[in-house]
Chains A and B, each alone.
Chain A
Amino acid sequence: MKQFFVFLLLLTVLGGLFRFYHITKNPISLSIDEVAFGYNAFSILKTGRDEYGKFLPLTFKSTGDYKNPVPIYLMVPSIALFGLNEFSVRFPTALIATLSIPLFFLFFMEVTGSRAVSLVGVLLLTFSPWHIYYSRYVSDHLIAATLVILGVLCFLRMLKKGRWFWGVGSAVFLVLSMYTYYAERLFVPLLVLVLFLLKGRDLKVRFKQVVLFVTVCIIIASPLIFSIFFGSDRARAQMTWIGNDVEFVRNVVLNPLTNIPFLASDNLLLFYFGVRKYLNYFDPGFLFYSGLNMTKGGSYGLGVLYLFEIPFLILGIITLIKKKIQGRDLIITWILVGLIPASLTNNEQHPGRTFVILPMLIQISATGVVELFRFAKSHFNQNSIKLISALFFIIIVWNLMQAFLIYSVHFPRQKGEDFMEGTKETVEYVLANKDKYKEIVLDPYRGIEAPYIVSIPHMYILFYSQYDPATYQREEKIRPDGSFGFDKFTIRKIDWRTDRFKKDTLFVGSPWSLPEKDIKNDEILKRVYLSGGQPAFLIVSPD
């Protein structure tokens, strides 16, 4: 027993190491969402209001994408403790991710009842590329999934022990997960329905606790339900709706078409398109090769599972089909239901939107590992087992080293732009030289191949200057000419043909808006490059 606890503790420490080591340096920079989360949390800490001056909101308008409240409120104590910086912003997610290692063990035990499967599961979780990736930056997906695990764990305990506080705890955690990430708003009600169907007999025995559970759920969820149907959350749902998917619009809507018969209508084809998105999550490319999108499109990166997990996963699936192991129905339905929210949204496969299925995929792999050992024990002699284990060990080590290279070498070089690499450097320069200029213009458009990324440079200025939230909330931000700005900063597209004549002005933009060939060498004050070597920004002041 003691050995077992030591093992679990070791895994938690090791898991913590993977999640905290160089957390401020990899991912290479704070993403748009991270600075927005961070500054809003800072604003809440200082004034109790968000950047728009709204008092303790349940939905943060932020950059117009209506962010969920839980990750922001969780960040407040961290910022109070460590100040507004990269570490304080990423700390809560990494901490929750580390603590979820022992939590997952309890959850696996509750679902499968097998200590072997649970231990192997936790071992796989400690090294999981999916879990590590989402642990190292602000991830509402990970926080929400952890809350779901806590909620279901409490729910199962409620059915087993019959104590009222498990029911209340379950309701609180499950509903909180819905306030944390969008996918959970659909997943959690469906999961509760599944739990009710699967545990029907137990529910009758614990009728009072179930009534309490449902009541607490309704009470806590009511503001959210109101917001989804009548408030700002509706806008977010409309933004990400599958019907807006580029491929669907390009191939089905086909604007010039009129008088389309009902059976060829967009709605029916949209249904099939949704099914396709759903089934596409079973693509081995997503699962084992490039699902985490850490390298440039098409090349080999990291999947949500390791390559060495392929035989374990296959064996786990076969075991689930052939044997009626404990928790089988919950594992299968969890995965099937967990993919629904992601299938109803636009864009390609999204590992964050499906993060909630991670525990169950790990359980299947863990079941496969245990089955393999059982099979080997009964069919092979000791020497053969040693040989097979050694072979697997080599493959696993090779695979982990490959993952290490991708994470530490290729990911920062190939995906720096997605994390707005270079923005911090430019903002630090701008803040250091702010007093020398009358106006500082920042162009929000950037990109290596084309200026297709619209960033929010003002938020990076607010973040790194720790700009007083109360002042920012009061300031008029729309200028008479229609541009957006505050203090000396103006955020707009730079047109160098006219802007080149503006004296005492500092311009920050990508080479697309500040073409080097049109700028005198002494006008360029600084060049900022991505880790991959491509130019990201030029800082220019006309003579």
Chain B
Amino acid sequence: MNRKGYLLLVFILLISLSFRLYINYFIPITQQINLLVIFMGLANLILIFYIIQRLANYKIGLLTTLLYAISPWAAYLEVAASPYIILLTFLLVLYVGTQALNVSKKFSLMLAILVIVFFIYRLNQITIFSDVGLINAVNSFRGETNQTIFVPLSKVIENRYIYFSEHLLFNVLKQFTPATYFTNQVRLLGFSFASPIYVGLLIPFLFGLVKSIRSVPRSSITEVIAITALLMFPSILSKDSPDLSRLILISPVIFFVINSGISEFIINYKRKLFRFLLFFTLFMVILQFVTTISDIAVRESVRLQMFLNQK
């Protein structure tokens, strides 16, 4: 990477810092900004850049870092001092470390599993098993069926094990809803109306995803599924799944897929459709960024207040 590249990286870090301070200025999420988490957030940016530039090239690395920096997802969590930002730092350091030390893939994966399990266990974050609503639902269903002639059928079909398995499957599937990541369907920190990732990036994401499905060799499918499952694991175990705070762990992967889509647009720049898609994406992202900035200044603190009042 040349000097211009390093300057750009520093510039992106400054943008990132300004965006977080801007959010903190307009929305009183915490009494005092947690500098450690903000610092971890900046470290995450550098680590993401380092990993992506090794996997692809430094231009893609810079783009990924920029998109990560200006997206509200990590920014809000950092301002709110979410512990999952720290977990993300650990995982990124782990990845870089195992790569540098040439540790085997299996060992790296085991280590990552251990870190995540230890972290969520320490924070007592496995709430899926204590979901009272689920038990109540099963009891209510059984109670209704007991008034009919279908009691034996109900014992087989409507027991807590079946419902718990369904619930778990449901939690897994919910992580794959595009509205969770690209719109405000799941509120960031429970109150925000900002999309975690700008919706304009959905098109390059889909292109990137299709490209990945087409290009990933069959032998690597298990590996990809294992990594995805691992990073989504904390959110799957949440009662309020999908949990955007926990899903931040998968965000670098999502941004990487988005950038494979964007690089597809750039490679095929001479074709009209791709040129249009590139400019359309750029336009949409800039527009939503500016809209989000304005909305943060105008409405977000009111929403936070309404959220706190409801609580």
CB-based contact A307/B166 at 8 Å: yes
Q: How far is the CA of A285 from the CA of B178 in the complex (A)?
A: 13
Q: Which of A311-328 contact B (CB under 8 A)?
A: 318, 321-322
Q: How near does chain B come to A495, taking the closest CB pair, in angstroms?
A: 32
Q: How far is the CA of A260 from the CA of B210 in the complex (A)?
A: 40
Would you call B10 an interface residue if the criterion is a C-beta within 8 Å of the partner chain's C-beta atoms? no
Would you call A521 an interface residue if the criterion is a C-beta within 8 Å of the partner chain's C-beta atoms? no
Would you call A279 an interface residue if the criterion is a C-beta within 8 Å of the partner chain's C-beta atoms? yes
CB-based contact A257/B199 at 8 Å: no
Q: How far is the CA of A282 from the CA of B206 in the complex (A)?
A: 14
Residue-wise, chain A 255-277 has the 8 Å CB interface mask toward B (1 for contact) of 00100110110001100100110
CB-based contact A398/B157 at 8 Å: yes
We find that the number of chain B residues with CB closer than 8 angstroms to chain A is: 48
Would you call B154 an interface residue if the criterion is a C-beta within 8 Å of the partner chain's C-beta atoms? yes
Q: How far is the CA of A98 from the CA of B145 in the complex (A)?
A: 29
Would you call B182 an interface residue if the criterion is a C-beta within 8 Å of the partner chain's C-beta atoms? yes
Q: Which residues of B lie under 8 Å from residue A409 when comparing CB positions?
A: 144-145, 148, 150
We find that the number of chain A residues with CB closer than 8 angstroms to chain B is: 40
Would you call A472 an interface residue if the criterion is a C-beta within 8 Å of the partner chain's C-beta atoms? no
Q: How far is the CA of A279 from the CA of B183 in the complex (A)?
A: 8
**Majority SS of interface residues in chain A?**
helix
Partner of B157, one of A264, A288, A307, A405: A405
Given contacts A252-B299, A280-B185, A405-B145, contact A321 B153 (CB under 8 A): no
Q: How near does chain A come to B153, taking the closest CB pair, in angstroms?
A: 6
Q: How near does chain B come to A483, taking the closest CB pair, in angstroms?
A: 38
CB-based contact B295/A401 at 8 Å: no
Would you call B224 an interface residue if the criterion is a C-beta within 8 Å of the partner chain's C-beta atoms? no
Q: Which residues of A lie under 8 Å from residue B275 when comparing CB positions?
A: none
Residue-wise, chain B 192-211 has the 8 Å CB interface mask toward A (1 for contact) of 01010001001000000010
Given contacts A264-B295, A264-B299, contact A300 B163 (CB under 8 A): yes
Q: How far is the CA of A307 from the CA of B137 in the complex (A)?
A: 18
Would you call B122 an interface residue if the criterion is a C-beta within 8 Å of the partner chain's C-beta atoms? no
Given contacts A405-B157, A405-B158, contact A268 B177 (CB under 8 A): no
Q: How far is the CA of A402 from the CA of B145 in the complex (A)?
A: 12
Of the listed residues B153, B179, B297, the one surrounded by the most CB atoms of chain A closer than 10 A to its CB is B179
CB-based contact A269/B145 at 8 Å: no
CB-based contact A272/B195 at 8 Å: yes
CB-based contact A275/B291 at 8 Å: no
Q: Which residues of A lie under 8 Å from residue B199 when comparing CB positions?
A: 272, 275
CB-based contact A269/B173 at 8 Å: no
Would you call A310 an interface residue if the criterion is a C-beta within 8 Å of the partner chain's C-beta atoms? yes
CB-based contact B298/A269 at 8 Å: no
Q: How near does chain A come to B286, taking the closest CB pair, in angstroms?
A: 11
CB-based contact B213/A275 at 8 Å: no
CB-based contact B214/A321 at 8 Å: yes
CB-based contact B144/A401 at 8 Å: no
CB-based contact B193/A269 at 8 Å: yes
Q: How far is the CA of A44 from the CA of B144 in the complex (A)?
A: 42
Q: Which of A213-272 contact B (CB under 8 A)?
A: 250-252, 254, 257, 260-261, 263-264, 268-269, 272
Would you call B294 an interface residue if the criterion is a C-beta within 8 Å of the partner chain's C-beta atoms? yes
Q: List 5 A-B contacts (CB under 8 A).
A: A261-B294, A263-B287, A269-B193, A299-B140, A402-B157
Seed contacts A254-B302, A264-B291, A268-B287; 6 additional CB < 8 Å A-B pairs:
A279-B183, A283-B177, A284-B177, A307-B166, A402-B158, A405-B141
